[in-house]
Chain A
Amino acid sequence: MAKGPTSTFAAQRASAVILIPIALWFLWSLAAHAGEDLEGARNWLAQTHNKFLFGLFVTVGVFHGRIGLHEIIQDYFYGGMAKTLDTIAIAAAVLIALITWISLFQI
């Protein structure tokens, strides 16, 4: 995890670059498969590359998002409130990634 401002900046940019191709895959998949029923959704997620890319999109997404949320929190809040909001953001990011991976491996 990034420690200082410089490594945070680098982590934000690196995760952004990783997300570009995965987001393109996600949008393409959404256009191709939107509205499918449970069987369609499961068949799609059962394919290894879809499972892996979906999990990666969510995981790198919340990692990148947590950096951005921290940046916004730092701009508008001081001290204890900023710490509380940061903790909520981290907890949400971890929870979202965990629920996604556990669910993906149950399919």
Chain B
Amino acid sequence: MVDTPAGAARPTAAPPQSPPLSPHLQIWRFTPTMAASITQRATGVANFTGTAVLAVWAFAAARGEAWFAPVAGFLASPFGQFIILGYIWSLVFHGLGGVRYLYTDTGRGLEPEFATKAALGVYAGSVVITAVIAIAAHAARGA
């Protein structure tokens, strides 16, 4: 068992044979790499939820107008558009972040200075690519 630093003790006694729980987020000093790690998990959960929306959309398309109209109507509403934009950003962020992890899996890119730049790059890149997709979608609809 590794010594835990003061203040990082387990929040509750672990049952025997259990893997350790994650320390609480607030004990860590904020860095872009840890922010990108948390965002990677959050976008992963969002993408899973987005996939459920895709299933509902496909189901509605198969059923017919009675099902499709309300689903399409919701997705076309301002809130629906916000969800779609968020889903696109979430997919792009998770994809770019994933490529970053696949790269660090090879043992490269782990120097703090580069890792920080790569994490910030994922944030910047995800926003730029999402904007490009949103503009392209807008243009494709002949607006």
Contact = CB atoms under 8 A, between A and B. Distances in A.
A37 to B, nearest CB: 7
A72 B84 CA distance: 24
A65 B68 contact: no
Given A16-B98, A76-B21, A78-B21, A100 B54 contact: yes
A2 interface: no
A6 interface: no
B136 interface: yes
Question: A interface, by DSSP: helix, strand, loop or mixed?
Answer: helix
Interface centre among A33, A37, A92, A96 (most CB of B within 10 A): A96
B6 interface: no
A34 B137 contact: yes
Contact of A76 (B22, B48, B72): B22
Contacts of A34: 84, 137, 140-141
A76 B23 CA distance: 9
Interface residues of B, number: 42
Given A13-B102, A35-B141, A68-B45, 18 more contacts: A16-B101, A17-B102, A20-B95, A30-B84, A34-B84, A37-B72, A38-B65, A38-B68, A54-B58, A58-B58, A62-B51, A65-B51, A66-B48, A69-B45, A76-B21, A77-B21, A78-B14, A103-B55
